[in-house]
Amino acid sequence: MKRHPLVIAAVLGALVASLSQTGWTQFKSAEYRYTAFAPPGWQPLIPNSHSFPVINFPQSERVEGAVLPESGAIIEVGPGGGTAKTVRDLYLKELPEGTVPTMDQTLLVPAPDPDACRTLREVGWDVNLGDADHPVFEHSTSFYCELHNRVFVVRVEYYHGNKDAKTLDALALTVARTLRISK
């Protein structure tokens, strides 16, 4: 199949313009040279130049620490820190010890933009935040990207059983597809 880069670039440009016009918020990190979009109604948790965490519940429900309400979620975008130089390095660093992924797959992203991820490694897992008698499972889905010799991750976290789980994972995937990483 013959690709038409100008047509594909125009379609992606239209997607970015469409997201802006439909209430998606753009975040740019000058320091880490990337941009991403957050879904409408999601609010920055702690905006900084390193990462872009957004929440889908009001600031009035925030408490100190990483506490989500039962129906809440957080999406965070940012570069892999420390010694992680590859998707595999970052994935192994972030997967909680002894945790078996509930999903691990590679997704192709048809994006001709040289600053867009060509593939995303999608990994999901559940962690018991409670104990054996009172389990409380938090679910994480991470989309890892390696581009321009740097590694980034888009992660969504919410409690296992959240009725909007599929929508939340789809939103995080859309955010991952909007990620642009400059040289």
Q: What is the CATH number of the domain that holds 13?
A: 3.40.1000.10
pLDDT tens column, 9-36:
444 455 566 666 678 988 888 888 888 8
Whether the model pTM is above 0.85: no
Q: Provide the residue range defining the domain that includes 27.
A: 5-181
From CA 77, how far away is CA 100, in angstroms rounded?
A: 23
- Within 33-123, residue ranges assigned H as helices are 87-94
pLDDT tens column, 149-179:
889 999 999 998 899 999 999 999 999 999 9
Q: What's the mean per-residue pLDDT of the chain?
A: 82
Q: In the chain, at which residue ranges do the beta strands (DSSP E only) sit?
A: 25-29, 34-38, 43-44, 54-55, 73-79, 103-108, 119-128, 137-147, 150-159, 180-181
In one letter, which amino acid is 170? A
**How far is it between the farthest Cα atoms of the chain?**
58
DSSP 101: P
Per the structure, the count of domains in the chain is: 1
